Amino acid sequence: MTSSPYIGAVLAGGKGTRMEPFSQRFPKPLLPVFNKPLIQYQIELMRDLGITDILLLIGHKGFEIARVFGDGSSLGVRIRYVEQTQTLGIAHAVGRLEPHADRPMLLFLGDIFFVPGDLREMFRRFEAQGGGAVLAAKHEPDPKAIAKNFAMVFDEAGRVRRVIEKPRHPPNDVKGVGLYLFDLSVFDAIRRTPRTAMRDEYEITETIQVMIDDGQPVSAALCIEDDINVTTPRDLLRCNLLEAARHPDAAARGRDLSLAEGAQLDRAVIGHHVSVQHPIAIRRSMIFDNTVVGTTSDLEDCIVLPDCIVDCKHDTANVRENK
């Protein structure tokens, strides 16, 4: 592996409490998107940028993540695992990485699916400004979407002067996403990050504001085309359908598919070793690996697991038996 002046990191320790019925079975970063673990997309993005030394912060069912990726050699990277013992906010989690980070760090939140643009713009800005931080961002026409993330206020030179966590009234159409490039001064800022009143956590936006107030250069790079925060089963289905739409020529069917005569697939992502036993229509849905689909009813906007069917038509999923 070639040496890079940067290290990669992914925060992959969350419990995903709103992801039932998946939470107790899978760590969220291993949930499948187009038949590949969500976190693998982030690892491959870093590798393609030349970053091969990667830290994974793991917590809930982290041993499953380590079992899947091992030392990272199968993906052409070197993975080291750091345990998250408490869930006290993103800034607190990033602080756990300090003993292992010896270079500027490209940081992903492990429960977000990204459609990247030119991520190298982050490095160009970082190097031009001499360190500090670069925040990945996108133009977002929906103020409600910005209100679920964070906004930024810019000075006349285009530098970030203020970050606002979950703004009620966004100041512009630029939305911050869960992707950051930090130099090592971020750890000094984390030590002085206050616990917030909103969620009683150590927010990374507060850390970034400390960096700004210290005079560190902070800028934004509009390098993300789309992003989905995987919070509910419906979000997971959206990721799969988005990726299938982006790659219409790629096979959305896994290995060893047994399909009943007369069964129809329409914008469906099918995992490996799947059997559909009846002549049903499966539309805008995904099926997990090793699943026998036994229902005689058509499926639409659903996620099918070996033992249950999750209806994703609404944010609050309806779960029924797979039979």
CATH number for the domain that contains residue 26: 3.90.550.10
Question: pLDDT tens digits, residue range 192-217?
Answer: 998 876 677 899 999 999 999 999 99
Cα-Cα-Cα-Cα torsion 278, 284, 288, 292, nearest 10 degrees, comes to: -10
What percent of the chain stands above pLDDT 90? Answer: 83
Residues 212 and 255 in one domain: no
Q: Are residues 140 and 271 in the same domain?
A: no
Q: Clarify whether residues 205 and 262 are in a common domain.
A: no
Residue after which a domain boundary falls, among 164, 197, 229:
229
Residue where a domain stops, chosen among 229, 255, 276? 229
The predicted-structure confidence for 138-185, as pLDDT tens digits, reads as follows: 999 999 999 999 999 999 999 999 999 999 999 999 999 999 999 999
Do 262 and 219 lie in one domain? The reply is no
Q: 111 pLDDT exceeds 80?
A: yes
In this prediction, residue 197 carries a pLDDT of 62
Q: What pLDDT is stored for residue 2 in this prediction?
A: 54
Tell me what pLDDT residue 88 has: 83
List own/partner pairs for 306-313 with CB under 8 A and 24 or more apart. Answer: 308/21, 310/21, 310/233, 312/232, 312/233, 312/234, 312/236, 312/237, 313/234
Asked whether residue 2 is domain-assigned, the answer is no
Q: Does one domain contain both 264 and 218?
A: no
Residue 160: what pLDDT? 98
- Tabulate helix, strand, coil % of the chain (nearest 5): 25, 30, 45
CB count, 10 Å around CB of 247? 11
Is residue 258's pLDDT more than 90?
yes
Domain around 202: 7-229
